[in-house]
Amino acid sequence: MEAAHRSPGFRRWFNRRGWIKITIATPYVWLSLFFLLPFVIVIAMSFATRTPTAPPFSFGGDYPVMNTNHYARLIHDDLYVRAYLNSIGNATLATLMCLLIGYPMALGLTRVSRSWRNVLLMLVILPFWTSFLLRVYAWMGLMGTNSWFNKLLTGAYNWVMPADMALRYIPMMNTGFAVVLVTVYSYLPFMILPLYANLEKLDLSLNEAAMDLGSRPFQVFRDVTLPLSLPGIIAGSLLVFIPASGELIIPSLVGSSSRPMIGRVISDEFASARDWPMASAVAVALLLLLVGPLMAYTYFEGKSLEKKKAEGES
Amino acid sequence: MPEPATTADAKIAQFPRAVAPAIKETPFIRIEGVTKRFGAFTAVSSVSLEIRKGEIFSLLGGSGCGKTTLLRMLAGFEDPTEGRIFIDGQDMTDLPPYERPVNMMFQSYALFPHMTVEKNVAYGLKHMDMTPSQRSDRVREMLALVQLSDFSHRKPHQISGGQRQRVALARALAKQPKLLLLDEPLAALDKKLREATQFELMDIQDKTGTTFIVVTHDQEEAMTLSSRLAVMDKGRIMQTGTATEVYEYPNSKLVAGFIGSINFFDATVRATQGDTAEVEVPELGGMVEARAIPGLTPGQPITLAIRPEKLTISRGKPATANAFPGKVRDLAYFGKDSLYRIQMPSGRVMSVNSVNARRVGENERVADWEDAVWLSFEPAAAILLKD
Do the chains contact at A210 and B123, CB–CB below 8 Å?
Answer: yes
C-alpha to C-alpha distance for B179 and B102, rounded to whole angstroms: 5
C-alpha to C-alpha distance for B247 and B125, rounded to whole angstroms: 41
Do the chains contact at B128 and A214, CB–CB below 8 Å?
Answer: yes
> Could you list the pLDDT tens digit for every one of the 314 residues in chain A?
455 456 778 888 888 888 888 899 999 999 999 999 999 999 988 988 888 877 888 776 555 567 788 899 998 988 999 999 999 999 999 999 999 999 999 999 999 999 999 999 999 999 888 999 999 999 999 999 889 999 999 999 999 988 888 888 888 889 889 999 999 999 999 999 999 999 999 999 999 999 999 999 999 999 999 999 999 999 999 999 989 998 999 999 998 888 888 998 899 888 888 889 999 999 999 988 888 878 887 887 777 677 666 655 44
Residue A231's Cα: distance from chain center in Å? Answer: 16
| pLDDT tops 60 at residue B12 | no
- Paired with B377 in beta bridges are B322
- Paired with B110 in beta bridges are none
Closest alpha carbon to B71 in B98, B106, B39: B106
Q: Is B87 exposed, middle or buried (0-12, 13-18, 19+ CB in 10 A)?
A: buried
What residue of B is the nearest CA neighbor of A229?
A: B114
The verdict on A211 touching B (C-beta cutoff 8 Å) is: yes
C-alpha to C-alpha distance for A196 and A33, rounded to whole angstroms: 33
Are the C-beta atoms of residues A285 and A74 closer than 8 Å to each other? yes
C-alpha to C-alpha distance for A58 and A97, rounded to whole angstroms: 44
**Each residue's pLDDT tens digit, B35-47:** 999 999 999 999 9
Output the pLDDT for position A166: 85
Do the chains contact at A203 and B110, CB–CB below 8 Å?
Answer: yes
Among A109-118, B185-194, B223-232, B359-368, name the one with the lowest average pLDDT: B359-368
| Minimal CA separation from B158 to chain A, in Å | 6
Among A23-37, B149-163, B355-369, name the one with the lowest average pLDDT: B355-369
Domains of chain B: 2-101+177-256 (3.40.50.300), 261-385 (2.40.50.140)
Q: What number of CA atoms fall less than 13 Å from residue B255's CA on the CB side?
A: 27
Query: What DSSP letter does each residue of A77-118 carry, written as one string?
Result: SHHHHHHHHHHHHHHHHHHHHHHHHHHHHHHHHHHS-HHHHH
Q: What is the DSSP letter of A162?
A: -
- Paired with B29 in beta bridges are B51, B87
ipTM exceeding 0.90, yes/no: no
Rg (CA), chain B: 25
C-alpha to C-alpha distance for A293 and A272, rounded to whole angstroms: 31
Are the C-beta atoms of residues B113 and B154 closer than 8 Å to each other? no
Q: Rounded to the nearest 10 degrees, what angle do helices B161-173 and B191-208 cross at?
A: 20
Do the chains contact at A215 and B102, CB–CB below 8 Å?
Answer: no
Band of pLDDT at residue B10, cut at 50, 70 and 90? very low
Q: What is the DSSP letter of B368?
A: -
Q: What is the mean pLDDT of residues B195-217?
A: 90
Do the chains contact at A208 and B77, CB–CB below 8 Å?
Answer: yes
The verdict on A52 touching B (C-beta cutoff 8 Å) is: no
Q: Is B187 helix (H, G, I), strand (E, B) or coil?
A: coil
Domains of chain A: 1-76+275-314 (no CATH), 79-263 (1.10.3720.10)
Are the C-beta atoms of residues B261 and B308 closer than 8 Å to each other? yes
Q: Is B200 helix (H, G, I), strand (E, B) or coil?
A: helix
Q: With the C-alpha atoms ordered A250, A256, A262, A264, is the resulting torsion angle positive or negative? A: positive
Q: Which of A205, A208, A213 sits opposite B124 (nearest CB)?
A: A213
The verdict on B86 touching A (C-beta cutoff 8 Å) is: no
Q: With the C-alpha atoms ordered B6, B10, B15, B17, is the resulting torsion angle positive or negative? A: positive
Output the pLDDT for position A31: 95
Q: What is the mean pLDDT of residues B76-105?
A: 94
Output the pLDDT for position A64: 56
Band of pLDDT at residue B362, cut at 50, 70 and 90? confident
C-alpha to C-alpha distance for A259 and A270, rounded to whole angstroms: 19
Residues of B in contact with A212 (CB under 8 A): 75-77, 97-98, 102-104, 172
The pLDDT > 90 percentage for chain B reads 65
Q: Which of A203, A205, A213 sits opposite B123 (nearest CB)?
A: A213
What angle (nearest 5°) sits at the alpha carbon of residue A46, between those of residues A44 and A47? 70
User: Which backbone phi and psi does B360 adopt, to 5 degrees?
Assistant: -135, 160
Are the C-beta atoms of residues A173 and A189 closer than 8 Å to each other? no
Output the pLDDT for position A85: 92
C-alpha to C-alpha distance for B356 and B335, rounded to whole angstroms: 7
Are the C-beta atoms of residues A275 and A269 closer than 8 Å to each other? yes
* Whole-prediction pTM: 0.80
Q: Which of B103, B114, B124 sits opposite A228 (nearest CB)?
A: B114
The verdict on B272 touching A (C-beta cutoff 8 Å) is: no
Q: What is the mean pLDDT of residues B195-221?
A: 89
**Each residue's pLDDT tens digit, B248-269:** 999 999 999 888 889 999 999 9
**E-strand spans in B40-163?**
41-52, 56-60, 82-87, 90-91, 102-105
**Each residue's pLDDT tens digit, B26-73:** 789 999 999 999 999 999 999 999 999 999 999 999 988 999 999 999
- Paired with A50 in beta bridges are A57
What residue of B is the nearest CA neighbor of A218?
A: B98
The verdict on B112 touching A (C-beta cutoff 8 Å) is: yes
